[in-house]
A and B are shown apart, each in its own frame.
Chain A
Amino acid sequence: MSQFIAGLLLLIALTIPPVATLMESVMIIHMHMQMPMLIIAGFFMGRFFLDRFPQFFEKYNQNGLPGILLFTIIMVYWMLPRTMDEALTVQSVEVFKFISLPFLAGVPLRDSWKKLNKVGKNNLITLFAVMFIGFGWLYIQSNAQLCNNYLVIDQIILGWGFITMAICMVIYLAYSLLVDPSQYE
């Protein structure tokens, strides 16, 4: 229960208009801080839903695949230049962001992640590394302003943010492939 409250408090804190406006004023903070924090809030709150409706998750998300699929769809949706822009200009899109990221990405991730085996987890990380490189490239090379509410320079910074995260994921993947932790125990 305390986890649920922690998540809820985080969500509420992020929703406070001055906080939201501040975070959304910088493109990379909008995408790489606010959005992940919303997912983390959902991840915490997920405990409550898992305890409350265990049969539901057991029945419809038995192997974790549907949950991961939903998580991925929501993630990709919010990485589109247009959705970022509209979150700032269209009220309903902004509301959808604060609902979809915690509840449709954070909660299913929590349930699905532990159900995935190591190969499944690494596949997911590989998928996201590839996607992040793709989106990074898109935001860096595009000379046109993809988002009307942000400057081109913000866009390039965001692109490099994507590439940096992708590099981290690749390092992790290499580590998990090459290093066997049991050898060091």
Chain B
Amino acid sequence: MIKNKQTLYSCLVVLVFGFSLFFVGTDGFTAYTAESARVTKLIEEKPKFPEVTLEDSEGRTYSISEFEDKYVFITFIYTGCTTVCIQLEQNMARVYEKVPSEYKGKEIVFLSISFDPTRDDPEMLDKYKDMFKSDGETWRMARIPNQNELDSLLEKFGVIVIPDGNGNFAHNAAFYLVDGKGTLVDVMDFSEIDEAASKVTNLIEANKGE
């Protein structure tokens, strides 16, 4: 098939080039979508939760230091969403159920952050939280009223939100886990409920054992 040596060499060169191109381009054949690359990078970088003011469904305002020394299990949503957010919050509710109740509120707080602050006022969030049986205390729903602060958080945590022009947003979804010092420690697949619940529980137990 390959008759002369030069052709063989050039085939080899091309193959080596192709291999390196794909190796570099997919982080060693692990990340074929920008989303998986983003998650890998976030877990490596461990960004800090920025100083932003949250306003929750009861109208209370505070920063992330409200949850000092507690894990915070975070999702990013908007209440007008009819697709992935519902799935995301239902799955979050199932993780919430699976985490032993003695830890809730003491060792870990669940927090859903809205990226649509104009529509998701405390009243709206209050209605939305009831749909998922969130108690507003150990699982809170909050918005970040200041758009600049919101953008800084979204950027730090790699949440990409694209408005589609009809009041809806396309966005990526994941479970985020922030530790007691405000550092992002893990980004989890939101469809793996059992895995997320056991990971969180193990972390809390390991932390208590120290």
Report B13-65 residues with CB < 8 Å from chain A CB: 13-15, 17-18, 21-22, 25-26, 31-38
Q: Which residue of chain B is the closest to A72 with respect to CB atoms?
A: B18
Count: A-B pairs, CB below 8 Å: 80
Tell me the interface secondary structure of chain B in the complex: helix
Interfacial chain A residues near B164, Cβ < 8 Å: 151
Q: Which size bracket describes the interface of A in this complex?
A: 20 to 34
In the complex, per-residue mask of B1-14: 1 if CB is within 8 Å of any chain A CB, else 0: 01110110111011
Interfacial chain A residues near B26, Cβ < 8 Å: 80, 82
Chain B residues bordering chain A, tally (CB within 8 A):
30
Q: Are B37 and A61 in contact (CB under 8 A)?
A: no
Q: Which of B3, B15, B34, B172: most chain A CB closer than 10 A?
A: B34
Q: Are A77 and B21 in contact (CB under 8 A)?
A: yes
In the complex, per-residue mask of A64-82: 1 if CB is within 8 Å of any chain B CB, else 0: 0110011001000100111
User: For the complex, is A147 an interface residue (Cβ under 8 Å from B)?
Assistant: yes
A89 to chain B, nearest CB (A): 7
In the bound complex, CA of A185 to CA of B153 (Å): 70
Interfacial chain B residues near A148, Cβ < 8 Å: 34-35, 38, 160, 172
Q: Which residue of chain A is the closest to B37 with respect to CB atoms?
A: A82
A46 to chain B, nearest CB (A): 17
Report A74-126 residues with CB < 8 Å from chain B CB: 77, 80-83, 85-86, 89
Known contacts A82-B34, A147-B34; 11 further A-B pairs (Cβ under 8 A): A66-B11, A70-B17, A70-B18, A82-B25, A82-B36, A86-B37, A145-B35, A145-B172, A148-B172, A151-B170, A152-B170
* Contacts from A to B (Cβ < 8 Å): 59-63, 65-66, 69-70, 73, 77, 80-83, 85-86, 89, 144-152
